[in-house]
Chain A
Amino acid sequence: MKASSIKVGRLSKRSPIVDIAAFLLVVAGLTWITGTGTATLGYNWQWYRVPQYLLTYEEGRWLAGPLIDGLMVTFEITGASLILAFSFGLISALCRLSDSYLARMIARGYLELIRNTPLLVQLFFIYFVMAPIFDLSRFASAVLALSLFEGAYASEIFRAGIVSIHKGQWEAAHSLGLSTFDTYRRIILPQAIRRILPPLTSQAISLVKDSALVSTIAVYDLTMRGREIISETFLAFEIWFTIAAVYLVVTVSLSLVVSIMERRFGDAG
């Protein structure tokens, strides 16, 4: 029952110095490869021009540069999409597990359609075809496309989590007279969520990265701001690397937060 609390730690008591040395060796190797690669490229690196696009210091206070402004839009989009995606995912998972043939078929159709077409095409379809009909803003189109897309993957994760809960839990809940709704809400989902937190996190991380695609419909997110700066300054490598680093900071922080949550959950049963 308590698979999550089993410590998968090192059994041998190896000195951490060996690990640190190995890590440094790998980093040194990668640096060398990048160094020789860029040297042959003959690229004129101008890193000193980058910080102004992140933060500027004027008249005694810090001002956010265009990249940070873009990051805020990325946060807004991913935040809204995350909530919607997990809602779509949970609802379609419940539909797929329901007794109703119609609900199962609708959910199935949604999953197959979304998972077998490119996100970019879905985004264009929603923005150019659906948005004029339903009067959606660029932001709303972006959020809708992303959450429909990630929701289809989240759906499979939810379904796997729900079916992984032992049948005895259903039987115990039913024999106490609990309704299906209460059984899901109080018995099945609380246990399932704990199990699927790691794959849901990966899905959230994918969402953060996939949100870069919304720049194609001119939503001023981190990526769009970066492209804008590049077209003005031709600092292609510097800006793209900076953007990648910012995405990395966001995704790694997300993983850390979730692993702390997991540890907290692990204590309770």
Chain B
Amino acid sequence: MDKKVPGEEIIVVDNVFKTFPGGICALSDFSMRVRRKEVLVVIGPSGSGKSTFLRCLNGLEEVDKGSITIDGIPLNDDKRNRFEIRKEVGMVFQSFNLFPHLTVLENLNLAQILVRKKSRKEATDFSMALLNKVGIPEKANIFPNHLSGGQQQRVAIARALAMMPKVMLFDEATSALDPEMTGEVLAVMKQLAREGMTMVVVTHEMGFAREVSDRMVFMEGGRLIEEGPAEQFFTKPKEERTKLFLSQVL
């Protein structure tokens, strides 16, 4: 893989706190920077706050304290900012969340037409190009429930890409899939990484993390425990807690 050069900081997270009702602390004084074209992989035990971190980045969760800025736009109470950020940040969910009452093509076209104000023709052309890219152009006119899990997730990735986002978030995108389907979804994600997409990935796939990530982050209890380049992170972790976790998952 040609090593791309990360650009300027596109995601700036400063001292974020997030506590859920019931007192569960998901993020505690959490700060993070992500550069353009960087692939950041976040790992950690369940309940460590990694998904919450991801969901805060496009405003699906509101932070209690601290600031988040995406590509220069602060994520705050201003609804227009939130709307702008969501246009530029694509998200892929563990449970796909495709729209079951729309065909694959309509799933991809919807936001292009409603949000990007493209014509149906333009949207369809781009959608078909994306379906080709994720390898299932023949499924364009099928309803999502008739697809396998791996195919659904590839459609979900294509749907997020249809908005031409600057950043892609992957929230355990392969956790609901069996190993064979995991492979096909990871292949698409690897291709995206190679093309220079800025990605923040929460995953349990350590092989994928090692191969694709520019930087690894290990979280626990809503805090950053350790971060570093993938090679160093996997071979010579500094923190005891990281070593223990890696010994369990590798």
Q: Which residues of A contact B (CB under 8 A)?
A: 1-2, 166, 168-169, 171-179, 182, 186-187, 190-191, 194, 268-269
Contact = CB atoms under 8 A, between A and B. Distances in A.
A95 to B, nearest CB: 19
Given A172-B97, A176-B163, A177-B83, A186 B145 contact: no
B89 A175 contact: yes
Contact of B114 (A171, A175, A178): A178
A177 B89 CA distance: 9
A87 B110 CA distance: 25
Given A175-B58, A175-B160, A186-B114, A269 B143 contact: yes
Contact of B98 (A171, A172, A175, A177): A172
Closest 8 CB pairs of A and B: A172-B97, A168-B97, A176-B111, A175-B91, A177-B87, A269-B143, A177-B86, A177-B115
25 contacts: A166-B97, A168-B95, A168-B97, A169-B97, A169-B99, A172-B91, A172-B98, A175-B90, A175-B160, A176-B86, A176-B90, A176-B115, A176-B159, A176-B163, A177-B86, A177-B87, A177-B111, A177-B115, A186-B110, A187-B99, A190-B101, A191-B101, A269-B101, A269-B102, A269-B145
Given A2-B145, A172-B99, A177 B163 contact: yes
Contacts of A168: 93, 95, 97
A175 B86 contact: yes
A178 B79 CA distance: 12
A194 B101 contact: yes
A177 B101 CA distance: 19
Interface in B89-139: 89-91, 93, 95, 97-102, 110-111, 114-115
Contacts of B49: none
Given A1-B145, A171-B60, A178-B111, 13 more contacts: A2-B145, A168-B95, A171-B97, A172-B156, A173-B99, A175-B58, A175-B160, A176-B115, A177-B163, A178-B114, A178-B115, A182-B115, A268-B143
A179 B83 contact: yes
A165 to B, nearest CB: 10
B120 to A, nearest CB: 14
Contacts of B99: 169, 172-173, 187
B150 interface: no
B144 to A, nearest CB: 7
B110 A1 contact: no
Interface string B205-240: 000000000000000000000000000000000000
B160 A176 contact: yes
Which of A172, A177, A182, A269 is most buried by chain B, counting CB atoms within 10 A of its CB?
Answer: A177
Report whether over half of chain A's contact residues are helix, strand or loop; otherwise say mixed. Answer: helix
B197 to A, nearest CB: 16
Contacts of B159: 176
Contacts, number: 68
Given A175-B86, A176-B159, A177-B87, A269 B144 contact: yes
A179 B110 CA distance: 12
Interface in B171-185: none
Contacts of B110: 176, 178, 186
Contacts of A186: 110, 114
Contacts of A169: 97, 99
Nearest to A183: B114
Contacts of B143: 268-269
Contacts of A269: 100-102, 143-145
Which of A169, A172, A175, A187 is most buried by chain B, counting CB atoms within 10 A of its CB?
Answer: A175
A59 to B, nearest CB: 54
A34 B59 CA distance: 67
Contacts of B115: 176-178, 182
Contacts of B102: 269
Given A1-B145, A186-B114, A171 B100 contact: no
Contact of A172 (B83, B93, B145): B93
Contact of B100 (A175, A182, A191): A191
A186 B97 CA distance: 14
